[in-house]
Structure 1
Amino acid sequence: MQSLRGTKDILPEEITSWQDIYYKVQQLFNKYNYNEIRTPIFEYTDLFFRSIGSDTDIINREMYSFKDKGERNITLRPEGTASIARAYITNKMHKHCKVNRLWYLGPMFRYERPQKGRQRQFHQLGIECIGSSSPLADTEIIRIADKILQTFYLDHYSIEINSLGNLEERAMYREKLKEYLNPYEKDLDEDSKKRLVNNPLRILDSKNLQVKEILSSAPRLTTFLKSKSMNHFYKVCEHLAYLNIPYVINEKLVRGLDYYNYTAFEIKTDQLGAQETICGGGRYDKLIEQLGGPATPSVGWAIGIERLLMLVKDKPYCSSKQLNIYIIAQGAESQKQAWNIIKIIEECNINFHLDLTEYSLTKKLGQANLLNAQVCFIIAEEEIKNNYITAKWLKNSSQQRIEFPYLKAYINAHKYLLNKKVAQ
């Protein structure tokens, strides 16, 4: 049996990195008073049609949709924001708190051509600040994204921002852009030709060199933005500058989802080849209202975990799992005594591995070395007879006998050494 194309097993030797990411971001979000939320992996298909937009690539060709046994149209979530907005409405979260700061981490699903850093089942870390129209909220979420990348010792990235204006301003610009591009239709690549009909703004982020040349003289979105939109954008830029967070204004940055307005931003790197975007997000003030909830201004972003892992590989925070104690019990009586040792180790809150092999003692010690264990607790016939345990420290090969009644005191006295990072 093979796994489905575009999916990947996350093996035990890889999962430590995933757990490290979860732990690090959880600590950071706790500081900023963002609370974790978990939504279902599948939703009614209509949720995504109404939120993402019927003319987007996700809706037209990337969603995993099906009918369940009740003949309901169901879709595996392709992104997180729509589900968060639905959960906000369903659970009447606006009644409990004026501003809800939320974060999530979980799998998403899109039918795309699998390539490095892009799977059909992929994972996103995201935050949503729901209930504030202040430019401070936009600045806060960008700052948090920047802090997360710094937490993982990343530095080869740039922050690009733009203002998309409100829905009316963007609609006016869309018509002007379409009017400008129509005479060049035959010179556009196939993707851009399709977008020209229903979603011309998406042509702005085309990677095709000929299309980029055509766009160089295209009308600019900023000329259609009124004072309210521009003031919001300038304030975000002012706050970023005050925080010494470098950014670049990219007037062709549009994002691929219809619900965005005002601020849009992406964090890009040159370390991932074609998959250059690590993080993307922006403001979506009308989405919750469009889905039947109260008028609720909101802003958020998402980071692709697979891409983040590609960047943090070999960084200092990301090392193999630490194993403290490896227990070797030779013989039936020793195996019974092992349970008493385990109880003591559990009380000391130290991790351990009970050897289950039928190997010789030499081979068991070899297994302990392979698992980067700090110390082996060995119990065999001699140890049972004299009521002691042999502690063999693998790094320096030192060895001690510990009488069983003093084992807990011994472990507590050596906690510093046990928790010290193993040299890789």
Structure 2
Amino acid sequence: MSKSLQAIRGMNDILPEQTPAWRYLERTFATLLDGYGYHEIRLPIMEFTELFARGIGEGTDVVDKEMYTFLDRNEESLTLRPEGTAGCVRAVLEHGMTGGGQVQKLWYAGPMFRYEKPQKGRYRQFHQIGVEVFNLPGPDIDAELIVLTARLWQRLGLTDAVTLQLNSLGSSADRGRYREALVAYLQERFEQLDEDSQRRLTTNPLRILDSKNAQTQALLQDAPTLADYLDDESRAHFDGLKARLDAAGIRYQINPKLVRGLDYYGRTVFEWVTDKLGAQGTVCAGGRYDGLITQFGGKPTPGVGFAMGVERLVLLLETLACLPGDLQRPADLYLCAFGEAAELAGLKLAEQLRDARPDLRLLVNAGAGSFKSQFKKADKSGALWAMILGEDELAAQQVALKPLRGDAPQEKVDFAALAARLDEILPPAGFGRGN
């Protein structure tokens, strides 16, 4: 017997009972960003592999181990996007969106792909919402990004569940000096490092700082710290960021081991973390990447941004019971029509009602059926009212309205008065709208 078809491991279906939570999160985020003056950009899910090798960095786990890369029919190497920033930078550069110092405040959402070991909150196809800002070099925009994420947590009811961690990676020169000192320190203790950190010592030594190995972390207690290698400009930038967060009342922790996993970051880096999801603690992360457009051949252009994982945030909302209770708004009406003439009239009437009240959730019975079977389907649909149209009602140009969720009496209403009567008996437009 042939193997049954199923989804690829780590690439999950999002079923109808799950999508209302996703739509709630996405809608809340989009509304928030509209209020801050950000504009949506939609990007391809596939790019030339070189984009990520140059942007994310050779030697990173993402490029070396996790990308879905293949040759197309023209023998060109393509990659399913593992993150959104590189593609967004490519887009603004390709379309001249940052020329002449133009400020761009952009956001995007969609699937990303990494070949990782699937586990709760971490998948091979996962979804991110990201924000990128170009041509604003100061700490004020870094602060704005953090402040707006704090407001998002407030709107979602997650403020007490997340903690902000900050660090500064300084300039590339700062990191170069620090890298030399860190490598020298760790070379003397090479045999005590875990295998992964030994490999990173020659490829991406700063990533050793966030190693999950307890013995390696113990070695790092006495290691040089990046803060001691920051130049005056980087230090002033970080101080400016902290001052603005203090003014906005945003609490934070300085984490000197926070380096992020992608090579393009410099100066500000930050993460919002939670202890409510076990090992998968980061729910939003980002930072500044002023040199990235230059790496792609463009003129020097400041950039800063962040991304958050949708699956992980939905999981957090579910875990903490922070989702509104009305996400699955029930149908308002279920139209039961008996006989072909009534079905034709019912179809016309249903569309007239949708014209009169665009928010109406009206289900029209399909597949005919007896009075009993249609009423059974009406009740199972969760609708508030059944709207009955048979030969007698059609002859009188009326419908019968029967409550399915309550003890109001059944009534008959003329076609001409139906829209007005529905305004009286149904929830107002927008009430309980969860999708």
CA distance in 1, matches of 2:329, 2:26: 15
| Match 2:8 to one of 4, 7, 11 | 4
By how many angstroms is 1:118 displaced?
0.8
| Match 2:389 to one of 353, 375, 379 | 379
Q: What pairs with 1:261-300 in structure 2 (closer than 5 Å)?
A: 261-300=266-305
Q: 2:77 is matched with which residue?
A: 73
AA matched with 1:332: E
Gaps of 5+ in 1: none
CA distance in 1, matches of 2:165, 2:253: 5
Q: What pairs with 1:290-329 in structure 2 (closer than 5 Å)?
A: 290-313=295-318, 314-317=321-324, 319-329=327-337
| Match 2:137 to one of 128, 133, 141 | 133
1:52 aligns with 2:56: yes
Q: 1:394 is matched with which residue?
A: 404
Given that 1:129 and 1:299 are in contact with CA atoms closer than 8 Å, whether structure 2 keeps it comes out as: yes
CA distance in 2, matches of 1:214, 1:300: 32
By how many angstroms is 1:70 displaced?
1.1
1:344 aligns with 2:355: no
Deviations 1:68-115 (A, max 9, x none): 111111110000000000000000002487210000010000000011
Deviations 1:302-359 (A, max 9, x none): 0000001001123243622442222221221221111122122211111221122455
CA distance in 2, matches of 1:146, 1:365: 48
By how many angstroms is 1:25 displaced?
1.2
CA distance in 2, matches of 1:224, 1:209: 25
AA matched with 1:388: Q
Q: SS of the residue aligned with 1:119?
A: coil
1:86 aligns with 2:90: yes
1:365/1:136 Cα in 2 relative to 1: closer, same or farther (>3 Å)?
farther
CA distance in 2, matches of 1:168, 1:418: 58
AA matched with 2:309: G
CA distance in 2, matches of 1:312, 1:365: 36
| Bigger shift: residues 243-252 or 403-412 | 403-412
Q: SS of the residue aligned with 2:188?
A: helix
Q: What pairs with 1:170-209 in structure 2 (closer than 5 Å)?
A: 170-209=175-214
CA distance in 1, matches of 2:417, 2:337: 19
Given that 2:332 and 2:426 are in contact with CA atoms closer than 8 Å, whether structure 1 keeps it comes out as: no
CA distance in 1, matches of 2:267, 2:429: 52
By how many angstroms is 1:178 displaced?
1.0
AA matched with 2:156: F
AA matched with 2:365: D
CA distance in 1, matches of 2:370, 2:247: 65
1:30 aligns with 2:37: no
By how many angstroms is 1:209 displaced?
1.4
Q: 1:153 is matched with which residue?
A: 157
By how many angstroms is 1:184 displaced?
2.1
Given that 1:374 and 1:418 are in contact with CA atoms closer than 8 Å, whether structure 2 keeps it comes out as: no
Q: SS of the residue aligned with 1:256?
A: coil
AA matched with 1:140: E
AA matched with 1:354: V
Q: 2:223 is matched with which residue?
A: 218
CA distance in 2, matches of 1:196, 1:168: 18
Given that 1:345 and 1:351 are in contact with CA atoms closer than 8 Å, whether structure 2 keeps it comes out as: no
1:143/1:369 Cα in 2 relative to 1: closer, same or farther (>3 Å)?
farther
Q: SS of the residue aligned with 1:13?
A: coil
| Bigger shift: residues 10-19 or 49-58 | 10-19
Gaps of 5+ in 2: none
Deviations 1:26-58 (A, max 9, x none): 111111010000011100100001100001000
CA distance in 1, matches of 2:231, 2:32: 36
CA distance in 2, matches of 1:276, 1:310: 11
Identity over aligned pairs, percent: 40
CA distance in 2, matches of 1:339, 1:311: 43
CA distance in 2, matches of 1:176, 1:212: 17
1:410 aligns with 2:417: no
By how many angstroms is 1:419 displaced?
5.3
CA distance in 1, matches of 2:220, 2:369: 69
